[in-house]
Amino acid sequence: MPRILLVLFFAATTASAQMQSAAPADFQPLAAKTFKIVAKQFDYEITPSPFVVNRGDSVTIELTAADNGDGGGHGFFLETYSQNLNVVKKGQKLTIQFVAHTSGTFIFFCTEFCGSRHTSMTGELVVSEPVAPPVISSVAPLRGSTKGHTHAVIRGTGFQQNATVRFGTASALDVDFDAATQLVAETPPHAAGLVNVVVTNPDGQSATRTNGFEFVEPEPQVLSIAPSAGTTAGGTTITIQGVDFQSGATAKIGSRSVLNVVFVDAQTLTALTPLGPADVATSRSEDVTVTNPDTRGGTKNNGFT
C-alpha cells in the first residue's frame, strides 16, 4: 500500500508541477541561496534550516545520501521546481538548481522505497513573497578608532531583527536592533582607512554604504601630570599619564616644548619641564599637550602650574 500511495502522489504532483515548472523568460533572480540536503532513513537533514526562500531567489541544492536505505539509495522530488527523480546513493552528490519564480508551499519527498517508514521522508519548501531590501541612509559617527568599540548608529529602512553588520572586512562585535529604521553596531578592530558599511538581513538581502565609515588611529588622551606644579626655572621631572601614546610623541606645557621626552609605554611618558614664563608673579596654570608622530594630539587643560 505505501508504494501505491507514493505512485499516486508522485503522478498527481507531477501533473500539477508540469503546468508551472519554468520561470517566465524575463524573470530576474533576486538572491542566491544554497542548501545542503542529506537524505537518510527516514529523514532529510537540511542546512541551513528552515527551508525557506524568497520568490525570485536563485536556489542551489547540494543533495547527498548518508546511507543507501534498503539498497536503492534515496530520491528527491520537489513539487514545481525539481520534477526529476534525483536519486543519490551513499558517496554520491547531486546538484539541483532553479529559480523560485512562484510563491507558496511546495512538497518534497523521496522517490525510492527505502524501508518501512519510507512515506515519512517528506517535507516542505516555503517560497515567500520578497520584502523590500534594506537601505542605509546614514552612519554616525563617521569615524572611529582602529581599536574598535565605537558605537555606530546606522539609520535607514527595511532593517530586520538579527540583521548583521560588516565594516570593511570585519563583522561588527555586536548589533542592537532598535527598529526597522535604526541599528546600533559596535565596530570591530580594523586597519585605518575608509570602509564600506554593509547591513545584511536574515533573508539574505543587503545594503551597502560605500565609504560609510573611517577607521582612524586613536587620539592620545592626557589624564594626569605628576607632579602637577614646578618652578619657572624648569628642569622638574614629570610623569605624564594617559592613553594611546606612541613612541616618538612630543609634549608641550602651554606653548613651550618639554625636554627629554621618554616613551615608557602607551600610557606613560616622562620629561623635564622647560623654562616657565618670565612674567609670572606668583603662579599660573597652563595646558599640557601630547602629540603623537601621526600628528594626533590630546590635551589636559590647566594640567601644570
pLDDT at 78: 95
Q: How do the residues of the chain divide into helix, strand and coil, expressed in percent and rounded to 5?
A: 5, 50, 45
Q: Which three cell numbers stand for residue 247?
A: 613612541
* CA distance linking residue 299 with residue 220, whole number of Å: 8
Q: Which fold has domain 135-216?
A: Immunoglobulin-like (2.60.40)
Q: How far is CA 252 from the centre of its chain?
A: 42
Whether the upstream peptide bond of residue 77 has omega within 30° of 0, thus cis, is no
- AA identity, residue 302: N
DSSP 8-state code for residue 201: -
Question: Which residues face 64 on adjacent strands?
Answer: 38, 93
pLDDT at 83: 82
| CATH 2.60.40.10 residue spans of the chain | 135-216, 221-304
DSSP 8-state code for residue 119: G
| CATH 2.60.40.420 residue spans of the chain | 2-128
pLDDT at 8: 37
pLDDT at 18: 33
pLDDT at 114: 82
What sign does the dihedral 177-180-182-183 (CA atoms) show?
positive
Average pLDDT, consecutive stretches of 10 residues, N- to C-terminus, the chain (305 residues): 40 36 53 93 92 92 93 91 89 94 94 86 92 93 92 96 96 96 96 96 90 92 94 93 92 94 94 88 90 90 94
Angstrom distances, CA of residue 92 to CA of 51, 64, 67, 89, 210: 22, 6, 10, 6, 43
- Report the CATH number of the 2-128 domain: 2.60.40.420
* CA distance linking residue 122 with residue 48, whole number of Å: 17
CATH level 2 (architecture), domain 221-304: Sandwich (2.60)
